[in-house]
Amino acid sequence: QVQLKESGPGLVQPSETLSLTCTVSGFSLTSNSVHWVRQPPGKGLEWMGIIRSGGSTDYNSALKSRLSISRDTSKSQVFLKMNSLQTEDTAIYYCTRGRYNSGYYFDYWGQGVMVTVSS
């Protein structure tokens, strides 16, 4: 069955770089897109970016200068890197599978990983 699982450090120092991994199973990264979505504690959902089946990427313009998404198809893994972290980047980070029906929706989600930015 389709599964996604995020992993990474729970605590990051301000100004440092966040690195997260999304390991997927039950589907191929070369046939599906993967998106990253985050949610600050007690707040709503923010779409961060996409890596498409062909490997191209797009980012939320609010994060574009700090964000990079890549993948290793042989390991079924998608990577998120975001630099210059600040306290407002404290959030649960989710990876999701994107489905395309003229536009994207997210049919499977990982459980999320809580990232706290603090010294």
**Rounded distance, CA 75 to CA 106, Å?**
22
CB of 42 to other proteins, least distance (A): 10
Of 27 and 109, the one with the shorter C-beta distance to other proteins is 109
CB of 103 to other proteins, least distance (A): 3
CB of 118 to other proteins, least distance (A): 22
Of 35 and 71, the one with the shorter C-beta distance to other proteins is 35
Residues that bind other proteins (CB under 8 A): 35, 37, 44-47, 58, 60-62, 94, 99, 101-107, 109-112
Listed in order, strand segments (DSSP E) in the chain are 3-7, 11-12, 18-25, 33-39, 46-51, 57-59, 67-72, 77-82, 91-101, 103-109, 113-117
Q: Six-digit token pair at 115?
A: 């990232």
